[in-house]
Structure 1
């Protein structure tokens, strides 16, 4: 499969690139920092571009089978890059006739807000993560309103450590066993699996240990 990955040098993006190549996919890695991509492979193509540049985005998605969006920004960033970039990606995909879209969001965005414990909703998010959630919420609207074959992936907090391969996904409520943590390798693994699965088509599965 030919895949374009936006945010290819971020925490999740780097893992997506490596895992997709290992799985035999042809990868186009789109990034503003191509020097951060250290590996080279016959099936890896690196594009130095800005996701806010419609022409660059259009070129990156042309003739692809699927697109993965793993855009990220610092917690206190005010630019709203995820939403603005995703809007441009979605428009480019529609024009190019590329349908499969897997987009990284976060647990608590959109209709998963009620899944968060009270200290997240009333302390952590208002103090530290309100801009992140505003960005993700706007981003998700662009995805859900599109005609694409989309899947929005909502992991809980990133955890240090290696992949465990044992985690919860697609839940509608939390219980006391949930740790609200996910190691990035597991997030990347789940996102790549959605390229060939319709189990969560037009849905927004949450992820958590």
Structure 2
């Protein structure tokens, strides 16, 4: 397959590039700093801003696009920058008629109780609220669309990308926060990447959000 990864040097994007390339896919890795992209014969690093005109042309002919776009949680304009980038990516995917698009969002829009999303709880970190709210709005926008073959993955609530082991195993959920025992579930970045590349290969979870966590 020909797979593009947007945000290819971030925690999730880097893991997805590594996993997809290891499976023999042709990977186009979009990043602001291409010098940080993993090197490999089946990896093409491309420096291109998703907000630039012509981004759709970069996506033509691909089998799948994975967006791990994130303007940075410590970015004071994270909410506005995420919203602008997300809209540009969605439009580019639409114009390029990409067969399968997987957006990586945050855990904030997962439900911790009936009608209560994690982002709306008192414990949710205020410093990342704007970015998480923009990710939630992206999901809302995608849920109303059928002009893009989308799927949306939320990492588990405890995910910080600080675990680097790969088991190749994971469990899936839909819209609710997953737990391991009584604790918020986690997953390693490589196993999250496994779930993402599995979904891309199978065009899975079409028109729905899903979440994953460590296997138990």
Same fold (TM over 0.5): yes
Partner of 2:166: 163
Please tell me whether the aligned partners of residues 100 and 203 of structure 2 are also in contact (alpha carbons under 8 angstroms): no
Matches within 5 A, 1:139-150: 139-146=138-145, 147-150=147-150
Please tell me whether the aligned partners of residues 29 and 44 of structure 1 are also in contact (alpha carbons under 8 angstroms): yes
Tell me the SS of whatever aligns to 2:94: helix
Please tell me whether the aligned partners of residues 54 and 88 of structure 1 are also in contact (alpha carbons under 8 angstroms): no
Structure 1 vs Structure 2 CA RMSD: 2.5
Partners of 2:108 and 2:202 in 1: CA distance:
24
Please list every run of 5 or more consecutive structure 1 residues that lacks an aligned counterpart in the other structure: none
Please list every run of 5 or more consecutive structure 2 residues that lacks an aligned counterpart in the other structure: none
Question: Larger % of helix: which?
Answer: 1
Matches within 5 A, 1:22-171: 22-41=22-41, 43-55=42-54, 57-77=55-75, 78-80=77-79, 81-109=81-109, 112-115=110-113, 121-125=121-125, 127-146=126-145, 147-156=147-156, 157-161=159-163, 162-171=165-174
Q: For residues 84-122 of structure 1, what are the alpha-carbon distances to aligned partners after superposition, in whole Å with 9 as ceiling and x for unaligned?
A: 22211221222222120011012231xx23358989821
TM-score, with normalisation over the residues of structure 1?
0.85
The structure 1 segments of at least 4 consecutive aligned residues displaced by more than 4 Å after TM superposition are 115-120, 171-176
- Stretch moving more, 165-174 or 89-98: 165-174
Please tell me whether the aligned partners of residues 108 and 114 of structure 1 are also in contact (alpha carbons under 8 angstroms): no
Please tell me whether the aligned partners of residues 84 and 139 of structure 1 are also in contact (alpha carbons under 8 angstroms): no
Please tell me whether the aligned partners of residues 76 and 131 of structure 1 are also in contact (alpha carbons under 8 angstroms): no
- Stretch moving more, 58-67 or 127-136: 127-136
Partner of 1:207: 212
TM-score, with normalisation over the residues of structure 2?
0.83
